[in-house]
Amino acid sequence: MALAKLSDLLEDAQKNRYSVGMFVMFNLEMLHGLISAAKETNSPIIIAYGEMAEEQTSIRHFSKTVLSMIEEAKVPIGLHWDHASSLEVAQLAVDSGFTSVMIDASAHPINKNIEITRSVVDLCKPLGITVEGELGCVGQGADYDPDDYHYTNPDEAKFFVEQTQIDALAVAIGNSHGVYPCKPKINFDVLEQIRSNVDVPLVLHGASGIPKEDIKKSIECGITKINIFTDICLEAMERIKKTVQKDKVSLEMIEEDVIQGVKAKTIEKIMLFGSNDRSK
């Protein structure tokens, strides 16, 4: 058990109509919180890391700790590189022991996106490493405008998957990364059209802040991997804010706030996604 392939996790989720949560972390406290949540709920999860943290926490060193803790977890956990920007970054993920890589070339025209994504597939597939690609413009929450949103084209999605041979597809259906300036509007018609056009598991980025009822409906419509980062960070920060107002504050108390905040929010998401008690 323990270290798992993303393709295996998503295959079961797609078959049994639930979603596996992917949670981004960049320090030891977050890692503790995530693994503790997975063990307590007997749930598979995906632990993710990305380039944004590379200057602070070099993955070449940190991955050894991450992999060691995952191996002892006794629940299936995937180690995923989120939003790799190039083949070189994907190679770093491979060298560091990741079981899956998300290559994000979605800002490019579709033909260039295909070219870059396919190069990562060619690198990873022979090694048994799962590849996720993205089509459409998910973007950042600060720029979110539901009336001016660039959705994934369902017909292009079919072509993109065929040409790249990716294992999972991240879609733009009204979702965005970070904090939303207004209530997000998920376009389920687009999602259902994409689902009917492609067979690979579908991924929802920017799920923090999306209403619970929309998350549930997204899963019903075929989303099998849901990415969370902002919500676990906000929960940890709220706990830290309360702690620092106390008369006596220690670093250990703040570290515990991060662990418990991340754990609590992760358990909440696991229950929402329906992945609890799925570990075999």
Tell me which residue of 16, 4, 36 sits closest to 259, measured CA to CA.
Answer: 36
Distance between CA atoms of residues 94 and 106, nearest Å: 21
Residue 143 designated active-site: no
Q: Which of 12, 82, 104, 122 is catalytic?
A: 82
Give the 3-state DSSP-derived string for the chain, with helices as H, strands as E and coil as C: CCECCHHHHHHHHHHHCCCEEEEECCCHHHHHHHHHHHHHHCCCEEEEEEHHHCCCCCHHHHHHHHHHHHHCCCCCEEEEEEEECCHHHHHHHHHCCCCEEEECCCCCCHHHHHHHHHHHHHHHHHHCCEEEEEECCCCEHHHCCCCCCCCCCHHHHHHHHHHHCCCEEEECCCCCECCCCCCCCCCHHHHHHHHHHCCCCEEECCCCCCCHHHHHHHHHCCEEEEEECHHHHHHHHHHHHHHCCCCCCCHHHHHHHHHHHHHHHHHHHHHHHCCCCCCC
Q: Which residues are catalytic?
A: 82
